[in-house]
Amino acid sequence: MGGLARLEYRGYDSAGLAVVTSDRDRVGMRKKAGKLVNLEKELAGRPLEPATAAIGHTRWATHGAPTDANAHPHLAAHGRLAIIHNGIIENFSALRAELQSEGVEFLSETDTEVAGHLLAREVDRGESLADAMRIITRRLEGAFTLLAVDASEPRTVVGARRNSPLVIGLGEGENFLGSDVVAFIEHTRTALELHQDEVVEITPEGVTITDIAGHTVEREPYHVDWDATAAQKGGFPTFMEKEIHDQPTAVADTLRGRIDEHGRLQLDGGMIHENVLNSIDKIIVVACGTAAYAGLVGRNAIEHWCRIPVEVELAHEFRYRDPVVGVKTLVVAISQSGETMDTIMAVRHAQQQGAPVIAIVNSQGSTIAREADAVLYTRAGPEIAVASTKAFLAQITAMFLLGIYLAELRGNKFPDEIESLLDQLEEIPAKIQRVLDASEPVRALARTMADERTVLFLGRHVGYPVAMEGALKLKELAYIHAEGFPAGELKHGPIALIEEGQPVFIVLPSPRGRESLHSKVISNVQEVRARGARTFVIAEEGDTEAANHAEQVFYVPAAPVLMTPLLSVVPLQLFALELATAKGYDVDQPRNLAKSVTVE
């Protein structure tokens, strides 16, 4: 149950457990709709026997509503075999019809149950569980991680993966499988990757990996560079709050030891030849949600420092619009989990067009990290709260590092300029800490706004992605309608939304930046205020003008213009956190969401 609790952030509309016990005819199973606590209650009332092997699942519904019946595991072979699944089996209708024609009865609406019955059919024909898994995965289309146990093989768990994550944990006298290392980090920090279309069989004594055809695969384990304490709340009431407070460390760790004595960026894996990076004429960033906003901040920096055009594309739109990508396009995939299916597919599409791909990823050994040509890890540590915070800041930092590296490599900046940029970045963690230490006013404001129905966020230049991120956090955590607009767009339509009392947050550019930009956004503040809006401004310390136009100003320390998002977003994260808390919502597991969106 500990492992399941750690994985609950990935999906939490139902949960279940199947165990192999001394009964060789049936596995023991409990499953319940709703959060894990419901399963815990069920188990307290109807405990399961001690197990020799077990599988457990927390679900984010795709096929079938979140009911007890649709919760995983699913049973087959008259209760002797149990299966759990992440992903979507795309050809499930045809397979279901085939099985029904053979007389198989289905107890749920899920695509998963199809895999269970297919597996049972092979085992009934005399195959071992692992052989049966290899046979059925050849017939399945789509994305899946499957784990199965069979009461007649009491010390074995078999797993398979295609396009969905699965990691192996190597313990002593025990081995583990999980969608994420957090599932078993309490027991071991030694992990093994499972690649695309591989099948794994674990027993307490050993692990066997094969490809789908049954050829044994040798794989070197890796050491997970954080421990179980990093995946705990550390004295904070929620993971979200803890992770917001982790941000100075996340940025500092992402920066640490990156640039060698020649000013060259140290990537964490893979390699793209300098000649290739010198010849690129365009960068396309592919990412989703918060990660895409990090891409937008990075775009401004890379274009300014390197004079290379940068596009930021939502990964799910990328391959469907026939983008112009080739060997001279550097594709940068940004993903906290490294398992977002939309981003994985964008990476594959880019590679098919011959583009080199750099991944900016937080999860070690994840699919995107593995498939990209080079990796720059954000060292934010495990992000458990479903809504992203510290990963966002670490992603922006990694984009800056990439920009600095390309600027150096391509001769856009002199070494002393590079050094000065790095020095400025190194000052950021302490400044984030100052924003955190001074957060009470924005939290107090949030507590008064629980009844708001809509909140608008305006920003310009690098403040625009910050405005969108502020709005996204509020939607996700507090279920309040929120929109982030470029401030310049206001007069082209959105200003019609302003009415008496409408709260508007404005991310004000630094007055030390382009003077005109500061004054233009000040004009935008005045325009909405004149129409009755309540204006709340995020401004740089020392910006005396800001207070003249705002009901309240939240100051952040001064920083180079391009780096300001690392500071200005923090009050907005805290605002959403506090408002959601005031409304009594679960900020770690907001409704309808899952941490890793491993389906397209």
By the criterion CB under 6 A, which residues form the site for ligand F6R? 288-291, 335-337, 340, 343, 387-388, 472, 476, 596-597
Residue nearer to ligand F6R on the CB measure, 150 or 476: 476
Please state the closest distance from residue 288 (CB atom) to ligand F6R, in A.
Answer: 4
The Cα 467–Cα 245 span in angstroms is 20
Question: Can you spell out the DSSP letters for 146-170?
Answer: EEEEETTSTT-EEEEEEBS--EEEE
Residue nearer to ligand F6R on the CB measure, 336 or 581: 336
Please state the closest distance from residue 341 (CB atom) to ligand F6R, in A.
Answer: 9
Please state the closest distance from residue 311 (CB atom) to ligand F6R, in A.
Answer: 18
Residue nearer to ligand F6R on the CB measure, 83 or 597: 597
Residue nearer to ligand F6R on the CB measure, 199 or 292: 292
Quote the Cα angle for 35-36-38, to 5°: 80
Residue nearer to ligand F6R on the CB measure, 16 or 470: 470
Please state the closest distance from residue 596 (CB atom) to ligand F6R, in A.
Answer: 6
Residue nearer to ligand F6R on the CB measure, 58 or 156: 58
- The CA distances from residue 415 to 259, 264, 405, 424, in Å, are 12, 11, 11, 14
Q: How far does CA 140 lie from the centroid of its chain?
A: 26
Please state the closest distance from residue 174 (CB atom) to ligand F6R, in A.
Answer: 29
- The CA distances from residue 223 to 188, 190, 193, 218, 364, in Å, are 9, 5, 11, 17, 10
Residue nearer to ligand F6R on the CB measure, 320 or 414: 320
Residues with Cβ within 8 Å of 77's Cβ and at least 6 positions away in sequence, in order, are: 120, 123, 124, 150
How does 13-43 read in b/e, with b if 16+ C-beta sit within 10 Å?
A: bbbbbbbbbeeeebbbbbbbbbbbebbbebe
**DSSP β-bridge partners for residue 287:** 314
Give the max Cα distance, the chain: 80
Please state the closest distance from residue 509 (CB atom) to ligand F6R, in A.
Answer: 24
Residue sitting closest to ligand F6R (CB):
289
The Cα 158–Cα 198 span in angstroms is 11
Please state the closest distance from residue 279 (CB atom) to ligand F6R, in A.
Answer: 28
Q: What 8-state DSSP symbol labels residue 259?
A: B
Within 13 A of 554's CA, how many CA atoms are on the CB side? 29
Residue nearer to ligand F6R on the CB measure, 106 or 226: 226
Please state the closest distance from residue 452 (CB atom) to ligand F6R, in A.
Answer: 20
